[in-house]
Structure 1
Amino acid sequence: MKSTKYIKLLCMLLLPTVFISCNKDDEYFDEKYQSTPITVTQVYLEDYESSVPDRPITYARLGQLIRIEGSGFYGMKKVYINGYDTYFNRAYVTDNSMLVSINSDTPVSDAEPEERNIIRFVKNSTELSYNFTIRAASPTITSISNTLPATGEKVTVYGTGLEETSKVTLPGSIEITTGIESDEDGEWYSFTMPSGVTTGGSIYSEGANGQAATPAYFNNADCMILNFDGSGTQGFWSWSETGSMINADDLVTDPVSGSNRGKCLQLIPERLIAAGGIMSGKPRASECWTAGNDDAADDWSRMYQYIPKETPLTEVALQFDIYVAENEPWSNCGHIQINLFNNFNFAGIGSDDDGSSNQVAFYVPYIQDGEIVPFYTEGWQTVTIPFSEFNKYATLIADKETPTFEDVVTDRNSASYRNFGIGFVNTDFTYKDVTVESNTFATHIYLDNWRVVPCKDIIISDYPEDEEETE
């Protein structure tokens, strides 16, 4: 049970500030207090929602309310946190304690070096500078540029609050402390993939604002669908020189210098590009499938040992890697359709395939924020599409249902043909309020490493014991 003492304290803070006279008879300004030495013995975090509402701490974040304990506070004139003149209500100042809310405008990484991580208490005739760490909001992770990198490839992790990242720990407890670059605005950090990383999982990082973790899909190939190099089986039938079906002879060697990934899929085969490209208005322009019913790997229940069948689909994703060269960007034409099994026509967005009950998803990377932006990548880039974004499951979630990974596996195994497929569609369509008209298409788009991964966000609490109590 939370302490009644601190709930009452919160209620007091929510009351309008009591006006206190500033005339010469106000004892707070009596000169005898202005020379009393200031000491700080402990700083506490005031959080009535926590199991420890008055918690001793060694750092605090912007926006948090702290209680400072010590002596000589009565008569305090100014408090500067990281050099920022911080308001405090003297109604909540005694000689041994005072409450201060850390303003969200307080500088952190951009504070002056001599003022950073210092709370300065000022009275007329004395002052005290107290060393205390100030952090911005807890860091978060939004994506990873390349979750299945080869040794020597650059990896960039995107998010917020990632400034001054100084340590990165990869799966298998492999630590990186040198060669890390990070954005001064905290939007990313990067490192070079070392050798010897043999397991998959999360990346943990440490920086100015604390620790952050990625979902557990880094270097995770446990649930590979097809990598074109022996993991998974490609299926093809009714192949022709001018047809949409992609066979093993259409595969190409990794075009990215130094990547050494072996074989990969060229989404528009070279034979079609050489013949003039994909004509405008063409559905089912190209297609690549797994082997289907006769291949044990196409029974995804094999993945339950890595991703429990009861996992919500917001926490399970399809991943694949894509490469589009900077000198040949993808723009203004076409899109990728992803079919969970072979029951759809690769007719694209706006077709019968694009129904609320269908197990399909689409990928149109050149439409960004309502505009068409030429798309290219710096080396291989990972695409992550949670299964919750496939039409059928997105509809269920919108109806307040909770589909699980077992639903995906059941849908595939109950289909007449459980081939998994990705293909290119070159028709007119409208996506996210942007209308695209088809044109002849001959851009080189490369895909590799189709896989299923866990994608649950990992939130690292400053005080994990609170999480344990609420579980």
Structure 2
Amino acid sequence: MKKFKIKDIFSFLIIVSIFVGTLTSCTSDDSESINSSAPPVINNVSIASAGDLVPTTVGYANNVYIIQGSGFSTLEKIYFNDVDTYFNPTMVTDTDIFVNIDQNTPYENASSELKVVTKGGTVIYPFVIAPPAPQLTRGFQPVNAAEGEQITIYGDFFLDPVVSFGSTEATIVSNTLTEIIAIVPAGGDKKYITVTTISGDVTSTYAVGTALYDDIWYGGFAPPEWNNHVYETNNTAAQGTTYFKKDMGGWDNVQGEWSWDDQIADYAGIRMSLKGPDGSKLKLVFNGNWSDDTAPIITLTSEWKEYYFTWAELLDAGHVQNISFQEFTGNGGEYYFDNFGYILK
């Protein structure tokens, strides 16, 4: 089979667009009648990319595709999943159509059909519009779920998802495009969660069973009430649904409770999600070492960001006893805290 390259087709289309008026004026009435009555035929569809054209039956919005076949010279309409899709008439020949899939083309509960309408008739071709690759927006909750318990995964573009804990596929109880409820399988502890769809996959940045805070505190490290911090529950958390914040004055602090955890052999360090005024800074005061000149100074942005600190960065700690923060610009501001936990080795 002869292979076509996009540059060959595109060059031909340029020639067609330049001489389309001449070609139209030179075409006889009989030829027009024959071309108009010939029903369209779709042989294949390929994404418009450099190199050899590779036929596909799956497309993505905001990408240009080449429809190849015959009988396209009298093209009137193109539909993807029943959405009337714009096309440039100068990018159409009798055998090729260049078309961009509209960004608003639905991909859920859709017909999964490409329809081409010409004066000679209509042809329908099986063609799936896939969503973008799945995303995790607020991770999963609870992080410390046990085998057989349900977790909720928060994200987007969860069309016909498969959920895996490590290499073990989990049972899905229910799902929408933005949430999945799944059951933790046997052996799911200390495993990362992956969501896979037709468009790709995404894996959590932390593992099951590694939380110190995932909407609730574990291990007794919660900041006491006298810190005057506030917990908020909504869909703007970094993880799950609940985070805490404090309006801190210059050099003010948030102090965690004193506790003890020396069962950290499986871990490489700790993690946390923070945000604050752009360019603001917090000093991480770990295990009560307020005078530590090597303590991490964290520069924040106004968007949630996950931060990681190894034991080596924390004075080669062999245990966790206290997690506190000091405002470190002197200007103060509103600071947000979420998603505390361990980093697996």
TM-score by length of 1: 0.51
Tell me the residue number matched to 1:332: none
Structure 1 residue 89: deviation in Å? 3.2
8 Å Cα contact 2:46/2:54 also seen in 1: yes
- CA distance in 1 between counterparts of 2:334 and 2:125 reads 59
Structure 1 residue 95: deviation in Å? 3.2
Which amino acid in 2 is paired with 1:411?
Answer: E
2:35 to 33, 36, 40: 33
Tell me the residue number matched to 2:224: 268
8 Å Cα contact 1:46/1:53 also seen in 2: no
Tell me the residue number matched to 1:421: 322
Structure 1 residue 172: deviation in Å? 3.8
Which amino acid in 2 is paired with 1:121?
Answer: V
- CA distance in 2 between counterparts of 1:30 and 1:61 reads 35
8 Å Cα contact 2:80/2:115 also seen in 1: yes
- CA distance in 1 between counterparts of 2:157 and 2:192 reads 18
Tell me the residue number matched to 1:100: 99
Q: Secondary structure at the match of 2:207?
A: coil
Tell me the residue number matched to 2:207: 218
* 1:138 and 2:59 correspond: no
Change beyond 3 A, Cα 1:263–1:169: same
More strand by share: 2
Would you say how many aligned residue pairs link Structure 1 and Structure 2?
310
- CA distance in 2 between counterparts of 1:57 and 1:133 reads 9
Alignment of 1:434-445 (within 5 A): 434=333
Change beyond 3 A, Cα 1:91–1:134: same
Tell me the residue number matched to 1:150: 146
Change beyond 3 A, Cα 1:337–1:422: farther
- CA distance in 2 between counterparts of 1:4 and 1:420 reads 66
- CA distance in 2 between counterparts of 1:419 and 1:119 reads 58
8 Å Cα contact 2:39/2:71 also seen in 1: yes
Change beyond 3 A, Cα 1:13–1:72: closer
Change beyond 3 A, Cα 1:43–1:4: closer
Change beyond 3 A, Cα 1:98–1:360: same
- CA distance in 1 between counterparts of 2:59 and 2:95 reads 20
Structure 1 residue 263: deviation in Å? 5.5
8 Å Cα contact 1:119/1:129 also seen in 2: yes
8 Å Cα contact 2:286/2:324 also seen in 1: no
Q: Secondary structure at the match of 2:72?
A: coil
Tell me the residue number matched to 1:75: 74
Change beyond 3 A, Cα 1:450–1:204: closer
1:202 to 189, 192, 198: 192
Tell me the residue number matched to 2:230: none
CA RMSD, 1 decimal: 4.9
* 1:288 and 2:277 correspond: no
8 Å Cα contact 2:147/2:188 also seen in 1: no
8 Å Cα contact 1:267/1:424 also seen in 2: no
- CA distance in 2 between counterparts of 1:85 and 1:155 reads 40
- Long gaps (5+) in structure 2: 227-247, 274-281
Deviations 1:263-300 (A, max 9, x none): 54443289xxxxxxxxx988575543657xxx795xx8
Q: Secondary structure at the match of 1:54?
A: coil
Tell me the residue number matched to 1:128: 123
* 1:412 and 2:333 correspond: no
Q: Secondary structure at the match of 1:344?
A: coil
TM-score by length of 2: 0.66
Tell me the residue number matched to 1:377: none
8 Å Cα contact 2:41/2:69 also seen in 1: yes
* 1:451 and 2:342 correspond: yes
Q: Secondary structure at the match of 2:144?
A: coil
- CA distance in 1 between counterparts of 2:326 and 2:122 reads 70
Tell me the residue number matched to 1:339: 285
Fraction of identical pairs, as percent = 17
- CA distance in 2 between counterparts of 1:62 and 1:448 reads 34
Tell me the residue number matched to 1:372: none
Change beyond 3 A, Cα 1:119–1:78: same
- CA distance in 2 between counterparts of 1:263 and 1:303 reads 16
- CA distance in 2 between counterparts of 1:166 and 1:77 reads 36
Structure 1 residue 109: deviation in Å? 2.6
- CA distance in 2 between counterparts of 1:284 and 1:127 reads 68
8 Å Cα contact 2:284/2:326 also seen in 1: no
* 1:318 and 2:255 correspond: no
Which amino acid in 2 is paired with 1:62?
Answer: A
Which amino acid in 1 is paired with 2:285?
Answer: N
8 Å Cα contact 1:338/1:421 also seen in 2: no
Structure 1 residue 31: deviation in Å? 2.4
8 Å Cα contact 1:318/1:453 also seen in 2: no
Which amino acid in 1 is paired with 2:133?
Answer: S
- CA distance in 1 between counterparts of 2:272 and 2:12 reads 51
Q: Secondary structure at the match of 1:70?
A: strand
